[in-house]
Each structure stands twice: as C-alpha cells, then as structure tokens.
C-alpha cells in the first residue's frame, strides 16, 4: 500500500534552490557569538579582576551595561546595534557630558567583547556625543593656601583634609589613588610617594616628590591615625581614614568618598571654586608644565597618562602648541 501524502510533505525537490555558486558560501555560525550580554559581562568582569583593575572601574562596567540591557531589552551581543545604543542614550535625563562618560564605558565593554572574538565589527566607534567643552580651571597656589589657612589643624578631620589637598596638589595623583594609599607608599625620609602600578590607571610604578611642609603634616597625620586605630580597634594602614579608623571610600557605594564630600563642603562654605580633586590635579599639571617650560612628556608621565593627546586635552592646549612641543622632543 502506498504512503498517503499530506500537506506537511513537500514533493518538489528544492535542494538546489540556494546553491553556493549563485549565492556564495554558507554563513558559518560561531557559537561564541551567541553569548548573552549578561554572560559576556560576567566573563569580562572576571578578566578585569584577574588583571587587577580597580573595583570602581568594574563597578562602572556593571552599572552601565546592566542599565543598557534594562532600558533597551536587548539580551544578546549580536542584537546590539547603533540604534539600540542611541535609544539607550536618549533614555537618560542627564547632561551630554555624563552621557559621553557612560557611552565611553559601554564602548570599552564592547571593545573587550570584540577582542574576545564575540563581535566582529566595531560599529560603535562612529557613535559620538557632541558637547561644548567647558574649559576647566586648575587650582592655583593661592586657592590652595587660602583654604589651608582656614582649616583648624588641631582637629583630626581638617588635618586629614589639609594633607589630602596638599598631596593631590603636590603630586597630581587621582582621588582613587589617594583613597588607596597606604603608609608603606609614603617615604617620609626622602619625601617621596612610591606608588605601585596596581593603584594607577596605566599600571606603571611612579615616584612623586613632595615638600617639607607636606612631610610634617603627614608625620602628624600618621600618629593621629595610629591613635584612632587603637581606640576603634581597626586594623589597616591607609594614609587617609575616617574618624572611625575606616577607609574614606564607602564599600557599599564606591563613588562615595569622604575627602570629595569635605572638599565640596569647603567650596560651598568658603566660596573657593577650584578646590575639588580634579582642579587640584589639574593645577599640579599646569604648574609642572609651566615650571618645566612646556615639557609635555614630563607632565604626561607625572599624571600617568597613556599618551600626549590626553595630557594636551587636560591642559587645554591648542593643537598647534602641542605640535610645536612635540617637534621639540624629536
């Protein structure tokens, strides 16, 4: 008896309908490219921790990538495109400068996905957010000593804050590096910060000198730190601690920093505009640039920048001026 055919059985032979000669080679499906964004983030976070990257940087990756997934409902890497990224940016009720920071972090995540072989096209490189660049002033020596004269150094908190202000202004270190400084990084005898690569963005060891005034303040601060740790039963060796003897960074909220809050308080209270951590670091950079007669390489190394272009933007140098300085280095 012959088999009965029904509508689910196709009689016609269509095997040559899409032959290779006419339509090209069939697409090879790479199982790695079907990763979910969540899984990709999990792997990249493990890689970042293995490389010793800062927890704050990792926290930013997790925050913005998860926010992208939440706002766009895109679940897989291959589903990410320019439209999805623009939709995500449009969902933010923040300043363009903040959007650009978040986009930069998300793009860095996608670049790591690309280097892992999960994405083949770096389409995100063409996505930009244009903002009017605000020329940020650096703190001047007058700004620094105006605030230091107002602080009561007989009080632990204001002594600590004075040491923090001078440390950033004299060495140019970032707030995150300042927060992680331990007493072993401070060579009081030779007036040097000996900072290991693990505390810096560019992962390179750097030695940064400071003057006798800061040396004296740090000596007093170290003794006060010792007393507070003993009183509170805390065991750490941070240079900058709270009244409870703990780190100045809130573990539950990595971006919450006691020094940053205090500097903001002084800014509001005393009306000294350029006294935030960025202004102090920028003031250091401009002072070194001036004293070294425009040695861009020296400033770049002192700031721990990856290239001169970053330093030039930091100093708000004209492109022609940068070109002239680079010619002098050749």
Q: What is the rounded distance in angstroms from the CA atom of residue 15 to the CA atom of residue 284?
A: 72
pLDDT tens digits, residue range 201-238?
555 678 899 999 999 999 999 999 999 999 999 999 99
| Pairing status of strand 192-195 against strand 249-250 | unpaired
Residue 117 lies in a domain: yes
Same domain, 311 and 273: no
Domain end position, chosen among 86, 101, 126: 126
Same domain, 181 and 276: yes
pLDDT tens digits, residue range 29-42?
444 446 899 999 99
Give pLDDT, residue 201. 56
Same domain, 112 and 220: no
Give pLDDT, residue 121. 84
Same domain, 265 and 309: no
Same domain, 206 and 253: yes
Residue 97 lies in a domain: yes
Same domain, 179 and 272: yes
Give pLDDT, residue 330. 56
Q: Average per-residue pLDDT in the chain? A: 82
Look at the chain and report how many structural domains it folds into: 3
Same domain, 63 and 114: yes
pLDDT tens digits, residue range 134-191?
556 788 888 899 999 999 999 999 999 999 999 999 998 988 889 999 999 999 999 9
Q: What is the rounded distance in angstroms from the CA atom of residue 263 to the CA atom of residue 148?
A: 11
Same domain, 269 and 323: no
Same domain, 158 and 147: yes
Domain that holds residue 70: 31-126
- Per the CB < 8 A criterion, the answer to whether 232 and 242 are in contact is no
Q: What is the rounded distance in angstroms from the CA atom of residue 241 to the CA atom of residue 180?
A: 10
Q: Is the four-CA dihedral 199, 201, 206, 211 of positive or negative sign?
A: negative
Give pLDDT, residue 317. 65
Give pLDDT, residue 33. 45
Same domain, 149 and 283: yes
Q: What is the rounded distance in angstroms from the CA atom of residue 254 to the CA atom of residue 60?
A: 10
Note the pTM of the prediction, 2 decimals.
Answer: 0.59
Position 22 confidence tier, pLDDT thresholds 50, 70, 90: very low
Q: Is the four-CA dihedral 83, 85, 87, 90 of positive or negative sign?
A: negative
Joined together, the tokens standing for residue 280 give 């102090």
Residue 1 lies in a domain: no
Domain end position, chosen among 126, 159, 181: 126
Cross-strand bridge partners of residue 192 = 187, 209
Percent of the chain residues topping a pLDDT of 70? 77
Same domain, 145 and 285: yes
Q: Please state, in angstroms and as integers, the Cα–Cα distance from residue 67 to each residue in 4, 88, 124, 170, 308, following that order.
A: 56, 8, 17, 38, 33
Same domain, 287 and 302: no
Q: What are phi and psi of 119, to 5 degrees?
A: -130, 140
Residue 2 lies in a domain: no
CATH number of the domain bearing residue 175:
1.10.443.10
Residue 25 lies in a domain: no
Q: Name the residue with higher pLDDT: 329 or 224.
A: 224
């Amino acid at each position: 008896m012959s088999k009965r055919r029904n509508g689910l059985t196709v009689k016609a032979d269509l095997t040559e309908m899409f032959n290779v000669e006419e339509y090209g080679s069939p697409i090879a499906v790479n199982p790695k490219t079907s990763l979910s964004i969540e899984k990709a983030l999990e792997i990249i976070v493990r890689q970042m921790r293995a490389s010793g990257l800062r927890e704050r940087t990792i926290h930013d990756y997790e925050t913005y990538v998860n926010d992208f997934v939440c706002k766009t409902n895109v679940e897989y890497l291959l589903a990410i495109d320019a439209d999805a990224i623009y939709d995500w940016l449009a969902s933010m009720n923040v300043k363009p400068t903040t959007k650009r920071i978040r986009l930069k972090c998300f793009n860095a995540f996608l670049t790591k996905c690309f280097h892992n072989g999960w994405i083949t096209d770096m389409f995100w490189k063409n996505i930009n957010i244009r903002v009017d660049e605000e020329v940020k002033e650096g703190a001047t020596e007058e700004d620094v000593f105006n605030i230091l004269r107002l602080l009561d150094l007989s009080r632990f908190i204001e002594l600590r804050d004075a040491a923090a202000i001078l440390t950033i202004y004299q060495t140019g270190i970032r707030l995150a590096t300042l927060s992680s400084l331990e007493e072993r990084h401070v060579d009081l005898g030779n007036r040097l910060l000996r900072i290991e690569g693990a505390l810096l963005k560019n992962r390179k060891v750097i030695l940064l000198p400071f003057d006798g005034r800061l040396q004296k303040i740090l000596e007093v601060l170290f003794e006060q730190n010792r007393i507070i740790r003993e009183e509170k039963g805390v065991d750490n060796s941070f240079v900058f601690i709270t009244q409870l003897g703990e780190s100045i960074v809130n573990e539950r909220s990595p971006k919450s920093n006691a020094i940053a809050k205090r500097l903001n308080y002084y800014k509001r209270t005393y009306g000294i505009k350029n006294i935030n951590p960025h202004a102090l670091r920028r003031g250091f950079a401009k002072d070194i640039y001036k004293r070294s007669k425009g040695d861009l390489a020296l400033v770049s190394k002192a700031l721990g920048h990856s290239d001169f272009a970053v330093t030039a933007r930091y100093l708000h140098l004209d492109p022609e001026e940068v070109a002239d300085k680079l010619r002098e280095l050749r």
